[in-house]
Structure formats: structure tokens, C-alpha cells
Amino acid sequence: MRLFFSFSTPELGWISKVHVNRPAVVRHAEQIKKWRTVKGNWQAAWLLKAVTCIDLTTLSGDDTPSNVHRLCFKAKHPIREDLLKAMDMHDKGISVGAVCVYPARVTDAVNALKAAGCNIPVASVAAGFPSGQTPLETKLAEIKLAVEYGAREIDIVISRSLVLTGQWERLYEEIRQCREACGKAHMKTILATGELGSLANVYKASMIAMMAGSDFIKTSTGKEVENATFPVGIVMMRAIREFYWQTGNKVGFKPAGGIRTAKEAITWLMLVKEELGVEWLTPELFRLGASSLLEDIEKQVSC
């Protein structure tokens, strides 16, 4: 199916014609789970690539300046120096893709990273995260504040109710206004796929988010019952590929929530390579949302 876009006045008649072959997607996802992982030096290389694509995250109600500072130190030094020296990678500047926090903690993260002398961007969740059940005016104000505090990336969350009730024009307009509020900051749009009801809705929401100007589309807030899954990832990446074919614009992909092991990280990298190609395997086009993944990666690198 070929989709044709007019970005000033989007034509959304194609929405009703979208069909996703769920059994085929699920079968492919099951095959992915059986992929054999790489070993030895190749494994180390893939894992270091994964590290550079991690959005190191803390999104807890008890976040304080001190634990954000510790997170920023880990962001700059994600792998122990002795392990990097053993791989002759100690002078390659290995660091994570970004540090992700709530808007109220953005200033803490910006100051900590500045004091550490590194240029890792700070990402902030916004727009009524995680539920999206916030008036649009409040969402836009929160985005603008996060940018004002120094966030260079904004992770917004969509209103799932607009997807579930088929209000695609309103969804487009809401995301478009969020994109405008972000200014020069990159915008990642969280679809909260576990709450969208179907893979067809995941595809539709992915397309609408990209049409409205998203720099990335992201699976989950990490707060849903179901977060990043391979079926959802396949559908979102194929939407990204279709969008690229139609417009020439590359949009990034970020699976988030529940990714805790080195093996899972490598599998996501391999899936991105298969679906989108090697050029997507950079922090500019691929991120992993994770809070505890680094511990297992470091463990595997040390083996």
C-alpha cells in the first residue's frame, strides 16, 4: 500500500484502508526470538554500539538532584575504564545517547553534565507523561519549560483516546503543535503501543506522528503493562520505512520499557539492521530506552 502525504493539509482518507497482517507479524516476531546471538569480539562490538544508543533514564517520583548527578556520571562513564582498556576502546569516547529525566530535573542534569565537561544531551519527558490525560495548553507549556531549562530532546506522549476513537486529524494537530513548541529540540513521540488496541492502530499512529513532524517514534512510556515488543517494533519500523520511501525523510525509532538484558539489546539492534538498514544504527536514528540495561551489558562485556 502506498501512502501520499500533503503536510500542510494532510489527507487522511487512507487511514480506513490500513490493514496489518497480525498472524504474519507475530510469526516473524517468534522467529526473531530464536535468532542466535553473536559471541566474542562481535558481541562486545554490538554491545558498545548499544551503549551509545541508550537513553539512560530515571523517571521516579523520588528523583533528587543527587541521584540525577549519579546518573549523569554513569552516562559519561557507562563502562568501566579497565574493561574499555582491555578492548582498546578507552580513548573512543564511549558514552550514552542521552540522559532522560522529568522536566523538574532537567536543570540538575544539564548542570551535572556541564560540570563533567561532556556534551551528552538531556532529554525530558513532557506533554502529560505518562498518561497523556492533560489539556493541550498544559502539554505545550510543559514542553516549552523543559526546553527553556535546557532539554535538547523532548519525549512527548500522545493522547491514546484520540487513537481509540479514530480522531486522526485531532491527533495530527496535537502532535504538530507539540513539534512547534519544541523549537530546535528534537521530538520523540511516544505512542504507548500497549494501550492502542491493535497493530493497525500502531501503524496509523506511527504515520500520523511522522507526518506531524516527529524526529523519532517511540514504543512506550515504560509505565504500561505491555511495553516494547517485537511485533510492535516490526510494525513501527515498517511504517518508518514506508514514510522514508514516500518522503525521503528519515525518522528515528526508540523501543523503550522492559529492555533489561544485553541479549535483548543486541536483538533490537539486529532487527533495526534487518528492517531499516545499517544507516539507522546510530544515536541520531536509534535509541534504547532503559534504566537497568547497562548493568547487564557491563557484565557481559567483562566475561
Nearest to 99 by CA among 79, 62, 71: 71
Residue 18 within a domain = no
Looking at residues 120-149, what average pLDDT do you find?
A: 97
- Residue 254 a catalytic site member: yes
Output the pLDDT for position 193.
97
Residues 261, 270 contacting (CB under 8 angstroms): no
What three-state secondary structure class fits 217?
Answer: strand
Q: What's the mean pLDDT in 241-254?
A: 97
pLDDT confidence tier of residue 210, bands split at 50, 70 and 90: very high
Q: What is the pLDDT of residue 33?
A: 83
Q: What is the pLDDT of residue 5?
A: 45
Residue 61, in any domain of the structure:
yes
2, pLDDT greater than 70: no
Residue 7 maps to a domain: no
CB 188 within 8 A of CB 221: no
Q: Is the pLDDT of residue 1 over 80?
A: no
Per-residue pLDDT at 90: 85
- Residue 203, domain member (yes or no): yes
Q: What is the mean pLDDT of residues 249-263?
A: 95
Per-residue confidence at 16, pLDDT binned at 50, 70, 90?
A: confident
The percent of residues in the chain predicted with pLDDT above 90, rounded, is: 82
Assigned domain for 265 exists: yes
Q: What is the pLDDT of residue 292?
A: 84
Find the catalytic residue in 254, 263, 273, 299.
Answer: 254
- The pLDDT confidence band at residue 301, using thresholds 50, 70 and 90, is confident
| β partners of residue 122 | 99
The domain in which residue 157 lies consists of 23-301
pLDDT band, very low/low/confident/very high, at 183 (cuts 50, 70, 90): very high
Length of the chain: 303
- The pLDDT tens digits for 273-290 are 999 999 999 999 999 998
The answer as to whether 253 is a domain residue is yes
Which of 76, 204, 218, 250 is the catalytic position?
218
Query: What's the confidence (pLDDT) of residue 272?
Result: 97
Which residues lie across from 252 on neighbouring strands? Answer: 216
**Number of domains present in the structure of the chain:** 1
CATH number reported for the structural domain that contains residue 28 in this entry:
3.20.20.70
Determine the pLDDT at residue 36: 74
- Does some domain include residue 202? yes
Q: What is the mean pLDDT of the chain?
A: 93
Each residue's pLDDT tens digit, 88-101: 888 888 999 999 99
pTM over 0.75: yes
Q: How high is the pLDDT of residue 302?
A: 81
Residue 9 forms part of a structural domain: no
Task: Answer whether 193's CB lies under 8 Å from 237's CB.
Answer: no
pLDDT recorded at residue 107? 98
